[in-house]
Structure 1
Amino acid sequence: MSRALLIVDVQNDFTEGGALAVAGGDAVASAVSTYLSAHAGDYGVIVASRDWHDAEGDNGGHFADTPDFVDTWPVHCVAGTDGAEYDPLLETSAVTHHVRKGQGVPAYSMFEGVTDADETVGAVLTASGVLDVDIVGIATDHCVRATALDAVAHGVRVRILTDLIAGVGVASSEAALAELAHAGAELIESAQA
């Protein structure tokens, strides 16, 4: 049995100055790196995801010229661009699995992506005997929410490290955290982990 840390979408396009910048994104990148420097050894698996959208087309309706910011979005995290890369404040040397998601289709949860070895996150967790998952990253009200709900559905115990996440909106982030708590996720700060 082991624990996993899931780092959701800490990418240039989701941090300050990016195409879909989330306030506090750089602070999350830095804080996750600090947390990893002290706690990487506590985890048997560390997975980091990135949106990695196709350069051509609308990625299954995910991109739009006039986005509604609910189901459609401006162009972001295009494969091979700087916007799709990890934020430089995020230290990734301890990451055991890198996941890319959203290639040609909308994808919010890292469980919808695959590793460089074409494995799903669910398969990685199962193969490693993971029963407990801690989740950090961006954005609380979108991809963190979707990843956490999929982790709960996968049957692992889920903790959201609330000081290591950032959301798009205050109300939508609060609603997402309430939904996750109702689904069975535990909301704690990283000092309690």
Structure 2
Amino acid sequence: MSRALFIIDVQNDFTEGGALGVEGGAAVAAGITEYLAEHRDDYAVVVASRDWHDADNDNGGHFATDAAPDFVTTWPQHCMAGTPGAEYHPALDASQVDVHIRKGQGVPAYSIFEGTDDAGASITEVLTRHGVTDVDIVGIATDYCVRASALDALEHGQHVRVIRDLVAGVAAETSDAALAELGHAGAAIVDSAAASGTDEAAGA
């Protein structure tokens, strides 16, 4: 068994003060750093995703341009390539990340499986290379990119755990619904205190 950690979109624009900041985002960034200080050896590979949108177009309709954003399929400009908003939150220790995935380059993208690393490899290729069978997921936002990434990981045959105290969502109701959906789909919803890299320690 080989386990990976997915850190989803812990970026300045998704934390407090950002273009699409969520409450608790900065605390999640700091919490992931603390978690990795204790649990880094549990993981064969640590992968972090970032939205990395084009600055000169609407990214396939992802950015609202002609009307107000509906916050479902259209959004204000955020995480544009090379801007401070697209960078990792400073409380996240990015030195612990082995693979950096960029997604949403000119197109809408929510799941980490829609991105590529610096060499153009997909996350599926990364997981295969490291023999990963189990994935833990943390990050932002519970009800959007965390949800999409976890569902795709399940579809790709991974055993998935979502660490519920290391995710933050746009809204409590939709975040709770996302976690319930993921639990029904087969993911384990666990607390970081129970996550020791073994299934025996995980409690739904």
TM-score scaled by structure 1? Answer: 0.99
Secondary structure of 1:134's aligned partner: strand
Alignment-mate amino acid for residue 152 of structure 1: L
Offset at residue 123 of structure 1 (A): 1.1
Alignment-mate amino acid for residue 40 of structure 1: R
Offset at residue 127 of structure 1 (A): 1.5
Residue 72 of structure 2 is matched in structure 1 by 70
Q: Write out per-residue CA displacement over residues 20-71 of structure 1, whole angstroms, 9 at most, x where no aligned residue.
A: 0000000000000000111111100100000000011100000004100000
Structure 1's consecutive aligned runs of 4 or more residues displaced over 3 angstroms after TM superposition are none
CA distance in 1, matches of 2:112, 2:4: 13
Q: Write out per-residue CA displacement over residues 102-122 of structure 1, whole angstroms, 9 at most, x where no aligned residue.
A: 000000001100001111111
1:130 to 117, 129, 132: 132
Q: Which runs of 5+ in 2 are unaligned?
A: 196-204
Residue 155 of structure 1 is matched in structure 2 by 157
Residue 91 of structure 1 is matched in structure 2 by 93
Question: What number of residue pairs does the alignment pair up?
Answer: 193
Residue 52 of structure 2 is matched in structure 1 by 52
Report the RMSD for the aligned CA atoms in angstroms. 0.6
Alignment-mate amino acid for residue 45 of structure 2: V
Offset at residue 177 of structure 1 (A): 0.5
* 1:1-193 mapped onto 2 (5 Å cutoff): 1-65=1-65, 66-193=68-195
TM-score scaled by structure 2? Answer: 0.94
Identity across the alignment (%) = 66
Alignment-mate amino acid for residue 16 of structure 1: E
CA distance in 2, matches of 1:126, 1:63: 33
